[in-house]
Amino acid sequence: MKALFYIPALLLITMTGSGQVKLVTKGKIEFERKINVHRLYFNGELRSWDEEIRKQIPQFRVDYFDLVFNEEKSLYKPGREAGEEKKALFYMPAIDNVVYKDLVRQQEVSQKQLFETQFLITDSLRTIEWKIQDEIRTIAGFECRKAVGRICDSVVVVAFYTNEIIPSNGPESFHGLPGMILGLAIPRLYTTWFATRLLLISEAEEQAIAAPAKGKHTNSAGLLKQLRDLTGNWGEDYQSRSTWLFSL
């Protein structure tokens, strides 16, 4: 059985003979994604059947994803099971997302499930205008600095990145900061991603970083059009939240 080794930050950030710090350039980061399902889908005044559905599902949904990366490319995909019951009483998007980033070509290929159809979305890497702030937080043993950006014009994203891990990368489609994003929060989606550990990868695992190949070909705009067509009668609030989740 192939072994996985947890690597403390102090072991990865080693000193060279000249006294310079050698930074992390490749590995596998496990992210814990936590969604407050009650706040996301049952916010505001509830109808009687909404209240009944809410009583039957846990308040939080926890999923794990792995980001395998080197300096040139990465693959973000579902990881280990959360070890808890998943009560899927309604449609929950973005639980099986696979996202490949080519940092050299500035290209992204992602695999996303929209109801019964699997899509393969090819597009350029997302551009986010980040504003770096002074707040510092330690995540998975790394000192991280706060940055704030926006997606979908008005949705605020709060990120924490470390410059001790070289690639400008992060979970889902997020990147563009001077280092690796280890913490992410989208308040309007009641969703957070936080790194739990950094793992060593073998040469074979690094070579296996490749774009997904299965799915109906489209781009980001085409996927969102399909989503709006399918959810047009679901109400503006639910449709907006689903759109934001598919824009990750």
pLDDT at 3 over 60: no
Give the integer Cα–Cα distance in Å for 63 and 84: 10
Which pTM does this prediction carry? 0.86
What's the confidence (pLDDT) of residue 141?
95
What's the confidence (pLDDT) of residue 116?
84
- The per-residue pLDDT of the chain, averaged, comes to 84
pLDDT at 31 over 70: yes
Average pLDDT over residues 159-182: 97
Average pLDDT over residues 65-72: 97
> Which residues, 6+ apart, have CB-to-CB distance to 202 below 8 Å?
2
- Let me know: does 7 contact 200? Beta carbons within 8 Å: yes
Return the domain boundaries, the chain: 9-246
Percent of the chain topping pLDDT 90: 58
What's the confidence (pLDDT) of residue 79?
95
What's the confidence (pLDDT) of residue 203?
94
What's the confidence (pLDDT) of residue 83?
66
Give the integer Cα–Cα distance in Å for 229 and 151: 21
- Let me know: does 28 contact 66? Beta carbons within 8 Å: yes
Comparing 245 with 176, the larger pLDDT belongs to: 176
For the residues of 15-33, what is the DSSP string, one character each? E-TTSPEEPB-SEEEEEEE
pLDDT band at 15 (very low <50, low <70, confident <90, very high): very low
What's the confidence (pLDDT) of residue 115?
79
